[in-house]
């Protein structure tokens, strides 16, 4: 008797990857998205299994469950990309004013930020007029604008037509990309390394562009989880590959200098799209090569 479809409340239908074409073709003249080739993976099709939680002690609660085809459930952000090719990607809104500011507007912004830093110095009990702090507000304002220069960059200028037709369908990995970013919760840095892998679908990207994409998203107020996913989504949107994998390892000063004050704690996040989400073997190959 064929297995019945699952009626479990948490079951969700398997939705194919986003096949929509990039609307702003003019921004990427060299990129002509095409429908992806069907991918094979090592996960067996839906199979009925006996629930491990029930059955022995409470046989009347034993149910048949369905093993999902995907080895990891899909997420809304991986099914529907929110990459904005102007560089103002989710969740950053309104940064176009900074991107397109005139020299006069940029100077006014710098002076306003400098005044805010002076107020901070006063609030913590310092004297902004003493010799050592006279130029600190302006120096810090310039530094803060540099730390967040990713708001003034966009994918169009970074990619710059560095997408090439190439008949390669094996794993490509760029390892140990240094990342410096600012935690949006406490405005203190977190630093680490990012590893990016993808399996091309007849198109490859210049290798330096992966580091530049990571840098663009990192130079904004961030969460490590969001940063990891944004990089993966951007690469997927640009190349339409068979799959993208991004892993990031970092240390957060908000855990070191304050709060729990654990100096050796590190955080690892990952974002797996396409075949890396579907295939355990492909994902394990990527993780093995990243570690070694």
Catalytic residue among 69, 178, 184, 284: 184
Contact 216, 84 (CB under 8 A): no
Cis upstream peptide for 45 (omega within 30°): no
User: Is residue 230 annotated as part of the catalytic site, yes or no?
Assistant: no
Catalytic residue among 77, 126, 186, 285: 186
Whole-number Å distance between alpha carbons of 179 and 237: 21
User: Is residue 183 annotated as part of the catalytic site, yes or no?
Assistant: yes
Whole-number Å distance between alpha carbons of 105 and 98: 8
Catalytic residue among 77, 126, 249, 254: 254
Catalytic residue among 69, 100, 168, 185: 185
User: Is residue 123 annotated as part of the catalytic site, yes or no?
Assistant: no
User: Is residue 41 annotated as part of the catalytic site, yes or no?
Assistant: no
Whole-number Å distance between alpha carbons of 81 and 225: 16
Three-class SS state of 216: helix
Catalytic residue among 140, 152, 215, 224: 224
Token couple for 9: 């409340």
User: Is residue 184 annotated as part of the catalytic site, yes or no?
Assistant: yes
Whole-number Å distance between alpha carbons of 100 and 50: 59
Catalytic residue among 126, 183, 249, 285: 183
Strand stretches in the chain, DSSP E: 48-50, 64-66, 163-165, 172-183, 189-199, 203-205, 221-222, 243-252, 267-274
As separate numbers, helices (DSSP H) first and strands (DSSP E) second, the chain gives: 10, 9
Whole-number Å distance between alpha carbons of 270 and 227: 10
- Active-site positions read 183-186, 224, 252, 254
């Amino acid at each position: 008797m064929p297995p019945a479809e699952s009626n479990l409340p948490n079951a969700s239908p398997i939705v194919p990857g986003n096949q929509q074409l990039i609307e702003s073709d003019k921004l990427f003249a060299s990129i002509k998205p095409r429908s992806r080739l069907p991918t094979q993976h090592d996960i067996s099709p839906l199979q009925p299994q006996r629930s491990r939680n029930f059955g022995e002690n409470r046989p009347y609660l034993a149910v048949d469950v369905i093993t999902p085809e995907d080895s990891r459930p899909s997420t809304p952000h991986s099914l529907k990309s929110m990459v904005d090719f102007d560089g103002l990607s989710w969740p950053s809104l309104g940064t176009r004013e900074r991107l397109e500011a005139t020299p006069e507007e940029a100077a006014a912004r710098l002076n306003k930020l400098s005044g805010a830093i002076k107020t901070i110095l006063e609030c913590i009990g310092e004297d902004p007029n003493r010799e050592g702090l006279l130029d600190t507000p302006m120096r810090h304002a310039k530094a803060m604008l540099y730390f967040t220069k990713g708001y003034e960059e966009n994918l169009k200028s970074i990619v710059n037509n560095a997408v090439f037709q190439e008949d390669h369908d094996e794993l490509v990995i760029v390892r140990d990309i240094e990342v410096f970013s600012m935690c949006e919760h406490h405005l203190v840095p977190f630093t680490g390394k990012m590893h990016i892998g993808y399996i091309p679908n007849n198109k490859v990207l210049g290798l330096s562009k992966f580091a530049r994409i990571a840098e663009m998203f990192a130079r904004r107020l961030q969460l490590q989880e969001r940063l990891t996913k944004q990089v993966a989504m951007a690469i997927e949107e640009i190349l339409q590959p068979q799959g993208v994998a991004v892993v990031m390892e970092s240390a957060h000063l908000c855990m070191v200098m304050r709060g729990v004050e654990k100096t050796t704690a590190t955080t690892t996040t990952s974002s797996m799209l396409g075949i890396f989400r579907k295939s355990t073997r492909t994902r394990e190959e990527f993780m093995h090569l990243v570690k070694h």
